[in-house]
Amino acid sequence: MSKLHDILESNSSWAEKVNNENPTFFSELAKQQIPKYLWIGCSDSRIPETTITNMAPGDIFVHRNIANQVIHTDLNCLSVIKYAVEALKVEKIIVCGHYGCGGVKASMEEQDHGFIDNWLNNIKDVQISHKNKLESTNNEEDKFKLLCELNIHEQVKNLSRTTIIKNAWDSKQAITIHGLIYNLEDGKLKELDI
C-alpha cells in the first residue's frame, strides 16, 4: 500500500465526483489555462485560495510563501509574476495575508529562529518602516494584527515596483493590484485600502 494512500484515495474520490457532476470538466480544463487572477499568498495550509474564494481549478494562478512576501531578489516569486503577467495576461493580482500569521508573529519575537530569520528580516524591515504606527498601539494582539496588515501594504508596494509590473503598465496592460487579509476566525476576506 502506498504511503500516500489517504491523499490518492481522496483524489480519486474527488475526481470521480467532479466527473459525475460535469463529464467534460477535466477535458476542458486540460485544454488551456486562462486565469484572471494571480494570488500571492501565505503558505499556511488553512488558506487554500480556491476554497476560500469558492473558485474552480484554473481560475487562480498561485504563488505562496511564508508570510506572502514579494521580495525583489526572490527569483521564484518574480518568475511566477512574469509568467502570470506576460504569458497568462492576468487582470488582477492579489497579495493576501492573514491574521494570525506565524511568519509575522515570529518576526516580532526577539528569539533566534535559525535559518528562517533570513526570510523574516523582510518583515522586520516592515516593522522599522512603520515603527511609529506600531508603537502607538499598546495591545500586543492589536499590534500583531496591524503588522499583518502593514506587511500586505508593503508587499503590494514591492510588487508595484517590480520591472514586470512597471513594464506592463507602461505598455497599457490592464492589471490591478489588490491587498486582502483573511480572518481565520470567521473565514472572511477583507480588502485593505491600498
pLDDT at position 6, please?
93
Confidence of residue 33 (pLDDT cuts 50, 70, 90): confident
**E strand or H helix that includes residue 193:** none
Confidence of residue 21 (pLDDT cuts 50, 70, 90): very high
pLDDT at position 15, please?
95
Alpha helix (H) ranges present in the chain?
5-21, 25-31, 49-52, 75-82, 102-108, 117-129, 131-135, 140-160, 163-170
Catalytic residue check, 46? yes
Q: For the whole model, what pTM was predicted?
A: 0.93
pLDDT at position 171, please?
97
Catalytic residue check, 42? yes
Which residues are CB-neighbours of 190 under 8 A, at least 6 positions away? 180, 181, 182, 183
pLDDT at position 107, please?
97
Active-site residue (options: 77, 96, 101, 148): 101
DSSP 53-103: TT--TTSEEEEEETT----TT-HHHHHHHHIIIIIS--SEEEEEEETT-HH
Statement: residue 131 has pLDDT above 80: yes
Statement: residue 144 has pLDDT above 70: yes
Catalytic residue check, 148? no
Cα angle 56-62-68, degrees, rounded to a multiple of 5: 130
Which residues are CB-neighbours of 6 under 8 A, at least 6 positions away? none
Closest CA to 51 of 189, 179, 194, 191: 189
Helix axes of 140-160 and 163-170: crossing angle, nearest 10 degrees:
50
The percent of residues in the chain predicted with pLDDT above 90, rounded, is 94
Domains in the chain, please, with CATH? Answer: 1-31 (no CATH), 32-191 (3.40.1050.10)
pLDDT at position 1, please?
65
Statement: residue 3 has pLDDT above 90: no
pLDDT tens, residue by residue, 164-177 = 999 999 999 999 99
Active-site residue (options: 63, 64, 96, 98): 98
pLDDT tens, residue by residue, 55-83 = 988 999 999 999 999 999 999 999 999 99
